[in-house]
Chains A and B, each alone.
Chain A
Amino acid sequence: MVTLSIAKQTLEDMLRRKILLILLIVAVAMIALGPSPGFLSPRESSAVLRSLGLAVILLAGLLITVLTGIQVIPTEIERRTVYTVLSKPVQRYEFVLGKFLGGLFTVFVMIASMGIVFLGVLRYQEGRFAPEMVQGVVMTFFQMTLLGALAIFFSTFATPVVNFFLSFGLFIVGNMSAVTESLLQNKNVATRVIAGAVHYAIPNFGNFNIQNKLIHPQVVIKDMNVFIMQNIAYALIYSAVLLLLAILVFDRREV
């Protein structure tokens, strides 16, 4: 209950932030402008529209998640409101979880808004509802869930600037999972070991990229639903690990 109260307060606080709203407005405008390169063939046009729409949702979601994740805990410490909260019967883990959930709700609201506009634009442009694109939006949300947990973990011990670069950097490395996976077959043992460590220890954000399948229907995935469920489970388990680490670090932190 306490956790949810903190989450609700965090959500309200975040939705008041102009920077996030500006990001949302810009993203929605970009999605709406997607059909503008209309000189391409229908198939190419559809591919460009779909890829750009999903990319805008990803990019805006990424910025919103990182900006939210790096701020929610340090701001409370900077404003010293954390003293008031923690002096009440509130456990530190409840505080961390509440902040994470608040940030996650914010990201959900933003991504859902962009997703609805995106589906509307697709409906207008292609003349039919494209339910498969919901999968792309859902995958982006769980990708951001994992990134949000990472940012919350870093925010328990790093400054927002350091946290921004750490989260962003790890997101880039995690997106190269296809590269690290291919290095697992390298002839050099040292390369294989390092690639293995990176591949299995660092959150693999590249897993969530199913744009290939959504943009090009001819790409066949054996069982799409299983693949999506595996990724959701991966995001939830890895986020749980990061939140446990965040709780452990924040528990010992002097505030």
Chain B
Amino acid sequence: MQASTRRNLILAIVPLLALAALLQARIDPTVADMNKGRKTPFAGLSTEFILGPLLGMQQAVAGLLWVRADEFFHEGDYDAILPMVRMVTWLDPHNLDVYITGAWHLAYNFTDSSERSDRRYIPAAQKLLEEGDANNSGVYDIAFELGWQNTDKIKDYLRANHWYKICAEKRKGMDERGELTQPVPMFVRHQLAHSYARLGRIDEAVAEWRKALLMSNELVRKDPKDYKSRNVRDSERHNLELTLKRKFSRYTHEIDWELDSELKQKDARGIDPVTGEPKLRDVYVFRKDSEIQTKREQYRLAGEVAPSMAIGQPRPPAIASKWETAFDVRPTFTADKVLELKGRFNIGDGARVTIRMHDEGWRPPQLDAFTFDLDQSVTLMQDQHSVRQGTWGRKIDMSKDPKMYSFKAPHYFLVFEFDPRTTSPFIHDRFGWSGEGMKDAKYLWEETEKDPPNRIIRKVYRISRAQVLRRSPITEADVFPTAQYMELQKPAKASASE
């Protein structure tokens, strides 16, 4: 090769390298975007798994790890799954199912010997989902799971509503071909409507059902043979009508549901789906004297003066006569760390009382980042029990699970509560969505900061470790002011161990 050719070739290399560097600078932002949330290729991996990520096969290693994690799950080795979830999400931060399944696992599957969830994992489960959602903010899946976990497990309907709203308004779905679609599946909107109802914001729930119905009507109009959409539309119609009727029955005039079904058979129009008002001919009025007597008896039992009632007049709603629930409970430790509860609650069969016991210093933690490292010294127990014939009771044995209930703190709060927003529709029929028809001489607590305000029943004890170990009995002198307890429970920035 001639010297000049050689020199020219060397000179050609320089601009080519510059061009390659320029291209690299153009490529980098897309790569960074695509790898959002991914950690270094070897983060947390054992040696046999390191080579794959180093060769650019993160997703394949993540897939294999996830297959292994599934095997652990079926073997019941739950502890082994958590580190794998962490590794898989680091290697492949776009694998939605790993976040969803991992968080479900954290929130639901760690239990004591009586199948009570270890609720200390819930903040970690939420944080894992939030991390997953931040890494996959284009689709609704993980945000929906956040909504669902807040609905089903935590019963924090305000947070659930927040996530469902994000899902419905800002996120996309994905069809079977992997194409991003909008609107998101209709069940997301249905959950949003349900969450409004759970918050006692019935007008917003009704508006959401109407919106969903409009959208489904449009889908059916476009494809009348789409039976999936038709079924969804029918459910929405049903739920809209039911919500309107419940609202009317609970807050305006009581509905005779039997009469309502008779009317429906004759005339399918029922309640006006736009206004929510019954038509003149469908007004639910007293038709017989016996109906008035029943209503008077309801007022008498509630210890309230009945308004004037006559045949042909609309019936007052159930919540108009506030019902004394006469809530109380006597907790006793019958053996070391074995709590026995005997309570009364005049509210109706099937209502559930929540029982919670935790360290005095514990409050709902707000994690900065996901971690599954728990402070095993924290004691946090939560259970529920149904009311039967005005009484309820439960034996809670915390002696068999020292990992969950270490009882290392000197003092504990023992909390009993009934939140009407978490209860069933037939209880709502008597007391309203927010406990409007409920009164209690001793333990009624009004959450005025909520909109609309919520009336809940809460009794709090502050007990010592000595009482847990039966050195002294629990008495009414241990009852702790609810207002003070609520002040202490305000969430604070905390580490995972708190």
Q: B-contacting residues of A (Cβ < 8 Å)?
A: 37, 39-41, 43-44, 47-48, 51-52, 54-56, 58-59, 62, 92-93, 128, 132, 171-172, 175-179, 181-182, 199-201, 204-213, 215-222, 227, 230-231, 233-234, 237-238, 240-241, 244-245, 247-248, 251
Which residues of A have CB within 8 Å of B31? 177-178, 181, 206-207
Q: A58-B55, A205-B56, A218-B94 are in contact. Are A212 and B23 (CB under 8 A)?
A: no
Instruction: List 24 A-B residue pairs with CB atoms under 8 Å apart, sorted by A's residue number.
Output: A47-B59, A48-B63, A51-B57, A51-B63, A54-B60, A59-B57, A92-B1, A176-B54, A178-B32, A208-B56, A209-B56, A211-B60, A212-B34, A212-B59, A217-B178, A218-B138, A221-B33, A227-B27, A230-B23, A233-B23, A234-B24, A241-B13, A248-B6, A251-B6
A93 to B12 CA separation, bound complex (whole angstroms): 15
- Quick check: is B216 within 8 A (CB to CB) of the other chain? no
B479 interface residue, CB < 8 Å from A?
no
Q: B20 touching A237 by the CB < 8 A rule?
A: yes
Does B38 belong to the interface (CB within 8 Å)?
yes
> How many B residues, CB 8 Å from partner?
56
- Cβ of B16 to closest chain A Cβ, rounded Å: 5
The reply to whether B56 and A220 contact each other, CB–CB distance below 8 Å, is no
Is B329 in contact with chain A by the CB < 8 A criterion? Answer: no
Cα distance A175–B56 in the bound complex, in angstroms: 6
Cβ–Cβ contact B174 & A48, under 8 A: no
| Residue B477 at the chain A interface, CB threshold 8 Å | no
Q: Given A215-B94, A231-B27, A248-B9, A221 and B34 touching (CB < 8 A)?
A: yes
Q: Which residue of B lies closest to A245 (CB)?
A: B13
Do residues B57 and A55 form an inter-chain contact, with CB atoms below 8 A?
yes
Q: Indicate which residue in A43, A52, A220 contacts B96 across the interface (CB closer than 8 Å).
A: A43
Contact A234 B23 (CB under 8 A): yes
B34 touches A41 (CB 8 A): no
Q: In this complex, what residue of B is CB-closest to A210?
A: B34
Decide: B16 and A44 in contact? CB cutoff 8 A.
no
Q: Whole-angstrom distance from the CB of A237 to the nearest CB of chain B?
A: 5
Asked if B441 is an interface residue, CB under 8 A from chain A, the answer is no
Closest to B59 in A: A51
Contacts of B32 in A (CB 8 A): 178, 181-182
Rounded to whole angstroms, the CA-CA distance of A175 and B50 in the bound complex is 13
Chain B residue with the shortest CB-CB distance to A219: B94
Contacts A54-B60, A251-B1; is A43 near B97 (CB within 8 Å)? yes
- Closest Cβ of chain B: how far from A174's Cβ, in Å? 9
Indicate whether B225 reaches chain A with its CB closer than 8 angstroms.
no
**A238-B15 Cα distance, complex, nearest whole Å:** 11
- A92-B1, A244-B13 in contact; A207/B27 too (CB < 8 A)? yes
Q: Which residues of A contact B9 (CB under 8 A)?
A: 244, 247-248
Given contacts A52-B60, A62-B55, contact A221 B20 (CB under 8 A): no
Residue of B nearest to A196 (CB): B21
A175-B180 in contact (CB<8A): no
Does B67 make an interface contact (CB < 8 A)?
yes
1/0 per residue B158-194: CB within 8 Å of A?
0000000000000010100111100000000000000
Distance in angstroms between the alpha carbons of A40 and B68 in the assembled complex: 11
Closest to A208 in B: B56
Q: How far is the CB of A171 from chain B (nearest CB, A)?
A: 7
| Contact assessment for A171 and B55 in the assembled complex, using a CB-CB cutoff below 8 Å | yes
Nearest-neighbor residue (CB-CB) of A36 within chain B: B67
Give A3 Cβ to nearest chain B Cβ, in Å.
16
Our pick among A43, A211, A218 for the contact of B59 (Cβ within 8 Å) is A211
Chain A residues near B179 (CB-CB < 8 A): 217
**B212 on the A face (CB < 8 A):** no
Cβ of B348 under 8 Å from chain A: no
B59-92 CB contact bits vs A (8 Å, 1 = yes)? 1111110110010000000000000000000001
Determine which residue in B20, B55, B64, B179 has the highest number of CB atoms from chain A within 10 A of its CB, and name it: B20
Instruction: Give every chain A residue within 8 A of B280 (Cβ-Cβ).
Output: none
CB distance from B5 to the nearest CB of A (A): 9
Q: Is B274 an interface residue (CB 8 A)?
A: no
Question: Residue B16 contacts which of A176, A212, A237 (CB distance < 8 angstroms)?
Answer: A237
Q: Which one of A207, A217, A218, A237 has the highest number of Cβ atoms from chain B below 10 Å of its Cβ?
A: A218
Tell whether, in the assembled complex, residue B35 and residue A41 are in contact, meaning their CB atoms are under 8 Å apart.
no
Q: Which residue of B lies closest to A176 (CB)?
A: B41
For B70, what are the chain A residues with a Cβ–Cβ distance below 8 Å? 39-40
Most buried by A among B28, B59, B94: B59
Query: How near does chain B come to A127, taking the closest CB pair, in angstroms?
Result: 9
| 4 closest residue pairs by CB, A with B | A217-B178, A55-B60, A216-B94, A51-B59
Q: Which residues from B are CB-within-8-Å of A209?
A: 56, 58
A131 to chain B, nearest CB (A): 11
Q: In the complex, what distance in Å separates the CA atom of A110 from the CA atom of B177?
A: 28
**Is the beta-carbon distance between B26 and A230 smaller than 8 angstroms?**
yes
Task: State the CA gap A142–B7 with chains docked (Å).
Answer: 29
Known contacts A241-B20, A251-B1; can you find 12 more A-B pairs with CB under 8 A?
A: A43-B96, A44-B97, A47-B95, A51-B92, A52-B60, A54-B59, A59-B57, A181-B32, A207-B31, A209-B58, A217-B180, A251-B6
Chain A residues whose CB sits within 8 angstroms of the CB of B94 once the complex forms: 212, 215-216, 218-219
Question: Which residues of chain A come closer than 8 Å to B177, judged between CB atoms?
Answer: 128
Q: Nearest Cβ in chain A — how far from B207, in angstroms?
A: 29
Q: Which residues of A contact B66 (CB under 8 A)?
A: 40, 44, 48
Is B34 within 8 A of A213, CB to CB?
yes
Cβ of B113 < 8 Å from any Cβ of A?
Answer: no
| A199 touches which of B23, B24, B33, B178 (Cβ 8 Å) | B24
Contact present for A218 and B96 (CB under 8 Å): yes
Q: Would you call A204 and B35 a contact (CB within 8 A)?
A: no
**A179: B residues at CB distance < 8 A:** 40-41
Would you give the shortest CB distance from A146 to chain B, in whole angstroms? 10
Q: Given contacts A218-B138, A237-B20, are A58 and B27 in contact (CB under 8 A)?
A: no
Q: Select which of B19, B34, B63, B138 is within 8 A of A47 by beta carbon.
A: B63
Known: A216-B94, A227-B30. A175 touches B55 (CB 8 A): yes
Residues of B with C-beta under 8 A to A199: 24
**B229 near A: Cβ within 8 Å?**
no
CA distance A55 to B56 in the complex (A): 8
